[in-house]
Amino acid sequence: MAEADAKFMRTLRELARCYQAFESFSEAHIRATGLTSAQFDIIATLGNTRGLSFKDLGERTLITKGTLTGVIDRLEARELVRRTECPHDGRSQIVVLTSAGEKLFRRIFPAHMAHLSSAFAAVPETQLLHTELTLRRLRELFEAAHELSLEEAEMTGAARSRPRRAA
Amino acid sequence: MAEADAKFMRTLRELARCYQAFESFSEAHIRATGLTSAQFDIIATLGNTRGLSFKDLGERTLITKGTLTGVIDRLEARELVRRTECPHDGRSQIVVLTSAGEKLFRRIFPAHMAHLSSAFAAVPETQLLHTELTLRRLRELFEAAHELSLEEAEMTGAARSRPRRAA
DNA sequence: CGGGAATAGTCCTAGTTCGTACTACTTGTC
DNA sequence: GACAAGTAGTACGAACTAGGACTATTCCCG
């Protein structure tokens, strides 16, 4: 972003760097298990459950539905998960770990937790909480601004031609 | 990640959410310009410079070389940037904005800054600095742990027979 | 000055990502 | 009970992503 004179750019840049640092630290370990990050996320989320719908999985892992189809496809091809029908809702499908998936989960999940925790060995819990709070506040700024900018877009004509939600 | 009992998971989760919130807030605006995030990043980084090498671009935008080739290809196809030879180093190429690229930069960069700054309107500068510092510390944790785990991997035999791959 | 190590970019593969359009099913309303 | 509106998941296209193999060039050391 060149040298943006705005002070907030430094903060944003640090956010991006921090996130990427986490990703590469985490991913380095995950790759060794033969899974990708997204795949690991699914396995980890499915562990210790009786199965979850695509919708639930998407919400918990922050993976959007379009992406999810492909990720689940690949896991299913490797027989780590299985799609099953939802008894209550014909639109829905429940994704469950197969026994191989279960086994993999038990093998790699604790190991990955240990890997992650090594980064935090020397960090007191109060600081973790503090960091969490700082991040949450920052996130809320983005969410509020995002909402606002969507509303503005509605007013200024993008909405003229489209079905809109009544106030 | 299921309900990991580790306290640091809450922090990590918040980091991911925060980053994603930023991305979607920022991207919503960028898309309207007809560029992708990565493309915008390149244009913004190239603005007000006399051109940068792939290496420099990669470092500043956090885009890795393999990805960069494709992103620059697409921008070059749209005649927004141009590859030029580096006089000092035959391996290197300097990427420069064309005049169309320059013009686009002047049009969209300030607008995007304004968009971003709307999120921070009510935030005092001290808090920005504080957040930046918190993020930097967190990043340093990851980097240190990452380094460490790479060294460990070397010791324990991954180094013994180089070309090893998971199935 | 010659050869080995390091560096810059490209190419390739596999996978993730998003948005949009689409089908199938459900739910609320009359 | 039919119909409109909403929801769950899939299909598809374009782009980004990392990593590793490869080529060309430069740099370092003897």
Instruction: Quote the DSSP letter at residue B62.
Output: T
Q: Which of B56, B50, B27, B40 is nearest to B104 (CA)?
A: B40
Shortest CA–C1' contact from B73: which nucleotide? C10
Q: Do A2 and B47 touch (CB under 8 A)?
A: yes
Q: Give pLDDT, residue A2.
A: 42
What is the Cα–Cα distance from B143 to B150, expressed in whole angstroms?
11
Closest in A21, A115, A132 to B10, CB measured: A132
pLDDT bin (cut points 50, 70, 90) of residue B148 is confident
Distance B35 CA to D18 C1' (A): 22
**B45 chain-A contacts, CB cut-off 8 A:** 1-2
Shortest CA–C1' contact from B64: which nucleotide? D18
Closest in A4, A29, A116 to B8, CB measured: A116
**B118 chain-A contacts, CB cut-off 8 A:** 145, 148-149
Q: Which amino acid is at B50?
A: R
Q: Give pLDDT, residue B37.
A: 95
Annotated domain spans of chain B = 8-121, 123-162
Q: Give pLDDT, residue A156.
A: 57
Q: What is the pLDDT of residues B85-123, one digit of tens each?
A: 998 898 999 999 999 999 999 999 999 999 999 999 889
- Comparing alpha-carbon positions, the chain A residue that sits nearest to B153 is A29
Q: Do B19 and A16 touch (CB under 8 A)?
A: yes
Is the model more confident about B100 or about B158?
Answer: B100
Residue with tokens 């099953």: A84
DSSP β-ladder status, A81-85 and A93-97: antiparallel
Instruction: Quote the DSSP letter at residue B155.
Output: I
Q: Do A136 and B14 touch (CB under 8 A)?
A: yes
Q: Which of A102, A46, A88 is nearest to A71 (CA)?
A: A46
For residue B163, is pLDDT > 50? Answer: no
Is the model more confident about A164 or about B129?
Answer: B129
For residue B23, is pLDDT > 90? Answer: yes
Domain topology for B8-121: Arc Repressor Mutant, subunit A (1.10.10)
What percentage of chain B has pLDDT greater than the value 90? 74
Instruction: Give the dihedral of Cα atoms A13, A14, A20, A21; nearest 10 deg.
Output: 150
**A22 chain-B contacts, CB cut-off 8 A:** 12, 15, 138-139, 142
Burial per residue of A49-72, b for 16 or more beta-carbon CB atoms within 10 angstroms, e otherwise: bebbbbebbbebbebeeeebeebb
- Closest-CA distance, B89 to chain A, in angstroms, reads 23
Q: pLDDT tens per residue, chain A (167 residues)?
A: 444 567 899 999 999 999 999 999 999 899 999 999 999 999 999 999 999 999 999 999 999 999 999 999 999 999 999 999 988 898 999 999 999 999 999 999 999 999 999 999 889 999 999 999 999 999 999 999 988 877 776 565 444 333 333 33
Is the CATH code 1.10.10.10 the one for domain A8-122? yes
